[in-house]
Structure 1
Amino acid sequence: MKKIKILALFAFLSFMSCDNYLDINDSPNNAKDTDVTPDLALAAAQTSSYANVTTSMNFLGNLFMNNWGYDVNSFAVTNPAEFSYSIDNNFYAAIWNTPMRNTANLSNIINTEFPNYENHVAIAKICKAYYFQILVDMYGDVPYTEAHQGVADITPAYDGAKSVYRDLYAQLDQAIALIDNSPSAKAVGAEDAVFGGNMSQWKDFANTMKLRLLMRQVDLAEAGTDSETTTYVADKFALLSGASFLSVNATLNPGYSDTRADTRNPFWNIMYGEDNTTVTAFYRQYKASKRNADNLNSTSDPRRSRLFTLVGGSVVGVLQGDSSVVNGGTAPAVLSSFGLGVLSSASQDAYMFSLAESLLLQAEAVHRGYLTGSAQSLFDAAIDASCIQLGTTAGTYTGSINGTPGKGYGSGTYAQKIEAIMYQKNIALQGTSQSLETFIEYTRTGLIDSVPGSILGATQANRPRRLLYPTSEYTSNSANVPAQGNVFATGSFWYAY
């Protein structure tokens, strides 16, 4: 088969940003537009910050987690940087650049001088915490307190990763307080592209974000090397006891449609051409990995036909780093592409925070003794939620998988039950835009090196624990960029391994 070289794919992912019909001022160096009220700015602020989650972040997460491989029967690239770990300061730079730039729109809402927009401010605080959590997890120290000052400060200082995390938690508390204690606040309506103004659900989102922030720190807290974090986590969990968490999927949809390219769901938009029918090189390049296919097939996972197309009744995957048979490799001639649970239409919802993830976070917190309840029930409910999200039902799968240590919660050791929660998190979050979160979680738990890497020689012994600051920072803010150390050996502040 003729080889097709797509040299621009990686560059496109690295520099891609949200070219969306809802975009507003998205440059942190521009002055705040004081004429735009928060209700007019909210949907654009939510949407402009999100597109990178479902594109660059999603691609990297699925490749680093060995969920996807390359169609080596059609493309010449068999061992890209994602497999060889040859990362540099341009590697997936959009993961830094896009949220760092576009969350300025959320800061503008938070700093609004218009009265009675407390509910809009609360939503912006929650959304901003969502993106800065990712930045801290993937890079460590970040510009935070001095960020988004426009021309008043174009070289913001970096804040320590732990201090940013602490403030993100405080901002979530403040958001809940604004919702609860602002009787004169203007109601939020359709301008909210996530919950349509349902502030009770936003409080649940904030609590679930607080749970995610705390769970990210539990391994450090339990390692006994940071007494401050140990005390902090225990104290915050005591206050979080009895809180209400997300009981629905937090999906973003500002009115996605097939009208034109910039109105479509951003993940769909990168996978399909202008006619919404012809698949792009991105769609054709990425297929199921063999490791992922083997897991889905061997457990008769009902989600497999929704995550991928089936070949002869099974998911067929490719080893990361393999070659086609004609080039001395072992790749099957026909590989599984994305299923209808991942790509259904240009108007499909985008997932910010799934119900499955909320339930699995709660299950782990109960398992570790930080919250009360039944970890088994939460675990089983998460599988149900994941199946429903993808358009199928769990059937007998839940009962069956619970007998498999490391994949089901019903059997195995304490550590294997945590592994089972992570395994189900990877299945539930892959392909839908949240896979980078799974990579972070595997890194946090020390399980990332149990995920097989490329079959070809890598430049490093293991995957990075975080990414290098992008070239853009060294160009525009070099005096403030801190030393990162070895990103293959050390992670963000919560990294305990």
Structure 2
Amino acid sequence: MKNTIKFIFLLICTLVVSCSENYLDVNKSSSSPSSATPDLILPAAQKNSADMLYNADILNGSGDSFNLIGSIFSGVMSDAGDQVWYEPEQQYLIINTTYQRIWNNTYTLTLYPYHLIENYEGDNWDNYRAIAKIMKTFHFAMLVDTYGDIPYAEAFGRGANTQPVYDDDKAVYDAIYEELNKAIDMIDNVPDGSLSVSTDAMFGGNMELWQQFANTLKLRMLLRQVNTGADLSSQYNEIVNNGIGFLNETASINPGYADQTDQQNPFYTVFGFVPGSTTSPARNHDATRGNEYFMEFLKDNDDPRLSRLFLPAEVDGEYRGVPQNNYDNFYRSDNTSALGEGLLIGSTQPLQVMLGSESIFLQAEAAQRGLIPGDAGALYKAGIEASFSELGVPDATTEATDYESSAFNNVINWDLAVAAGKEIEAIITQKWIAGGYISGFEVWMDRVRTNFPSGIPIPQGARNTTFPSNLLYPESELATNSDNVPSQGSNAAFDRHTFWMQ
């Protein structure tokens, strides 16, 4: 498997389009389908999905990603005091070039291959097409969440239309939600003799898990909209009554990661160590630290995940975080805590797309709000246990039970949360701990949606007194499609303009 990633890259370059600055360029006409079959395109598309989450500019190793920006804006990640890697993000300095790679490369490197699969002309590819629909929804939803209105209906016809219109964000959400329904039905009605999904690097061709992933994505999208006042009861009833269920395990991708150059897990590539070494740091390793608020929360509540998420500081063996945007030498790399073994397992570790704990916490929140049936408290406790297991806490079941039952904090102990009326805050706080470094984008969106955890401080020297909710449309769009790019005010990164950010 060690050469799988290199093979995938060469394959997609040679069979889809040439490897140039137009690599998988969305400007390619959708009327000119690829000569590569879906089984060859799928693993490359999935690899690109993983890169987009954790290293959107994988070819240059910048580390810009949905996970990184989300981890910073959700108050989880900080910069070491002697590094100055994440200063603009921590200052809330957001301009039209801020993380623009996640826009550009989501369309070109990620969505377009799935578009090719979905529109491939040939029989017996319905399972592949269903996967493509699900993954397109996954990525389109993230773009809507991050920017608001986006190109959707005309997104893949730029060969004939170099200036695609921007579609209303709510309309895009509704459309991609229906795409999930179509994908689920497509899997249910796959004709006999259809090809097995032998090259699926995510669920190994298990289409039942793909349906559960789609159903869980639907739940995530519905909960995004809890503050809009929309009556979504029929949708909630449907995701419960369709009999599919929700994910009970982590959705992850591993196309054959190896301890070699350009073949490592992208998270490990950015935050871990160079190939062949456990001591030579990767580019962001020494800079990346926990926010002091996050780490103190773990310490104050004797959270066993602390030693899985972080290492003791080299100087004195203390667990020490960094206040965001504080470049005092006291918070230098060797006097603060690096990422721990629960995050940096090794070059070949799978790349998480959705944590099993997130799925459980989504169900807990929906049950607590009365949107789906279920025991919110039992789901909450199960989510904590899943998080302990995901981070490799020894004797996870016992430790999770002891943590939840003995904690004095009313956003940890469920009975205390119920007594204080803080059930939703408790659920979101535990999602924040479980996914802060792994699903940073999701915990950022939860903070935007719920304002929990409410005590996260605004960084010193920040350019705004509230935390960011959106990114700005990229400079590349302003240069090439200015007639269609929606106007944005000077406070657009903070004005919660996406339709569900009420």
TM range (shorter): 0.7 to 0.9
Amino acid paired to 2:152: Y
Q: Say if 2:358 is the partner of 1:351.
A: no
2:220 alignment partner, SS class: helix
Match of 1:38 in 2: 38
Match of 1:410 in 2: 415
Please list every run of 5 or more consecutive structure 1 residues that lacks an aligned counterpart in the other structure.
1-18, 222-229
Q: Bigger CA drift: 79-88 or 141-150? A: 79-88
Of 68, 73, 81, which aligns to 1:64?
73
| 1:208 and 1:246 in contact (8 A); partners too | yes
> Which deviations, in whole Å up to 9, do the C-alpha atoms of 1:288-340 show, x marking residues without a partner?
22111101111111111111112466521111122335xxx677961110111
1:282 alignment partner, SS class: coil
Whole-Å separation in 1 of the counterparts to 2:113 and 2:228: 33
Against the structure 1 CA distance between its residues 138 and 343, is the aligned structure 2 distance closer, same or farther, given a 3 Å change threshold? same
Count of aligned pairs between the two proteins: 460
Displacement after TM superposition at 1:22 (Å)? 6.3
Match of 1:240 in 2: 239
Against the structure 1 CA distance between its residues 408 and 187, is the aligned structure 2 distance closer, same or farther, given a 3 Å change threshold? farther
Against the structure 1 CA distance between its residues 294 and 379, is the aligned structure 2 distance closer, same or farther, given a 3 Å change threshold? same
Match of 1:444 in 2: 449
Where do residues 44-83 of structure 1 align in structure 2 (5 Å cutoff)? Answer: 44-55=44-55, 56-72=65-81, 74-75=82-83, 77=84, 80-83=87-90
Match of 2:308 in 1: 306
Whole-Å separation in 1 of the counterparts to 2:219 and 2:357: 14
Against the structure 1 CA distance between its residues 492 and 415, is the aligned structure 2 distance closer, same or farther, given a 3 Å change threshold? farther
Whole-Å separation in 2 of the counterparts to 1:357 and 1:265: 21
Displacement after TM superposition at 1:375 (Å)? 0.4
1:85 alignment partner, SS class: coil
Q: Say if 2:110 is the partner of 1:106.
A: no
Displacement after TM superposition at 1:79 (Å)? 7.5
Amino acid paired to 1:239: E
| 1:257 and 1:265 in contact (8 A); partners too | yes
Whole-Å separation in 1 of the counterparts to 2:181 and 2:201: 22
1:279 alignment partner, SS class: coil
Whole-Å separation in 2 of the counterparts to 1:81 and 1:128: 30
Q: Bigger CA drift: 461-470 or 144-153? A: 144-153
Against the structure 1 CA distance between its residues 319 and 446, is the aligned structure 2 distance closer, same or farther, given a 3 Å change threshold? closer
Match of 1:382 in 2: 383
Displacement after TM superposition at 1:360 (Å)? 0.3
Match of 1:172 in 2: 180
Indicate the RMSD between aligned Cα atoms, in angstroms: 2.1
Match of 2:5 in 1: none
Match of 2:472 in 1: 468
> Which deviations, in whole Å up to 9, do the C-alpha atoms of 1:470-490 show, x marking residues without a partner?
001111211111123432123
| 2:73 and 2:444 in contact (8 A); partners too | yes
User: What is the TM-score with the length of structure 2 in the denominator?
Assistant: 0.87
Q: Say if 2:262 is the partner of 1:262.
A: yes
2:284 alignment partner, SS class: helix
Displacement after TM superposition at 1:23 (Å)? 4.6
Amino acid paired to 1:50: A
Against the structure 1 CA distance between its residues 79 and 342, is the aligned structure 2 distance closer, same or farther, given a 3 Å change threshold? closer
Displacement after TM superposition at 1:429 (Å)? 0.7
Amino acid paired to 2:352: Y
Please list every run of 5 or more consecutive structure 2 residues that lacks an aligned counterpart in the other structure.
1-7, 17-23, 56-64
Where do residues 272-421 of structure 1 align in structure 2 (5 Å cutoff)? Answer: 272-277=273-278, 278-311=280-313, 314-325=318-329, 334-392=335-393, 393-394=396-397, 395=399, 396-401=402-407, 403-412=408-417, 416-421=422-427
Displacement after TM superposition at 1:183 (Å)? 2.1
Against the structure 1 CA distance between its residues 79 and 267, is the aligned structure 2 distance closer, same or farther, given a 3 Å change threshold? closer
Amino acid paired to 2:386: A
1:269 alignment partner, SS class: helix
Amino acid paired to 2:355: S
Displacement after TM superposition at 1:141 (Å)? 0.3
Q: Say if 2:170 is the partner of 1:162.
A: yes
Of 481, 485, 489, which aligns to 2:485?
481
Whole-Å separation in 2 of the counterparts to 1:276 and 1:478: 47
> Which deviations, in whole Å up to 9, do the C-alpha atoms of 1:388-440 show, x marking residues without a partner?
11111151112124x522334332357521111111111111222x1111101
| 1:273 and 1:279 in contact (8 A); partners too | yes
Q: Bigger CA drift: 481-490 or 207-216? A: 481-490
Displacement after TM superposition at 1:184 (Å)? 3.0
Displacement after TM superposition at 1:169 (Å)? 0.8
| 2:264 and 2:275 in contact (8 A); partners too | no
Amino acid paired to 2:495: A
Whole-Å separation in 2 of the counterparts to 1:49 and 1:21: 17
User: What is the TM-score with the length of structure 1 in the denominator?
Assistant: 0.88
Displacement after TM superposition at 1:21 (Å)? 5.8
| 2:112 and 2:156 in contact (8 A); partners too | yes
Displacement after TM superposition at 1:168 (Å)? 1.1
Displacement after TM superposition at 1:97 (Å)? 1.4
Amino acid paired to 2:450: T
Amino acid paired to 2:311: T
| 1:363 and 1:378 in contact (8 A); partners too | yes
> Which deviations, in whole Å up to 9, do the C-alpha atoms of 1:110-163 show, x marking residues without a partner?
111111100000001111111111100000000011111241222211110000
| 2:26 and 2:158 in contact (8 A); partners too | yes
Sequence identity, in percent? 35
Whole-Å separation in 1 of the counterparts to 2:331 and 2:262: 39
1:220 alignment partner, SS class: coil
Against the structure 1 CA distance between its residues 358 and 79, is the aligned structure 2 distance closer, same or farther, given a 3 Å change threshold? closer
Match of 2:201 in 1: 193
2:289 alignment partner, SS class: strand
Amino acid paired to 1:470: P
Whole-Å separation in 2 of the counterparts to 1:247 and 1:211: 14
Whole-Å separation in 2 of the counterparts to 1:373 and 1:467: 36
Whole-Å separation in 1 of the counterparts to 2:392 and 2:74: 23
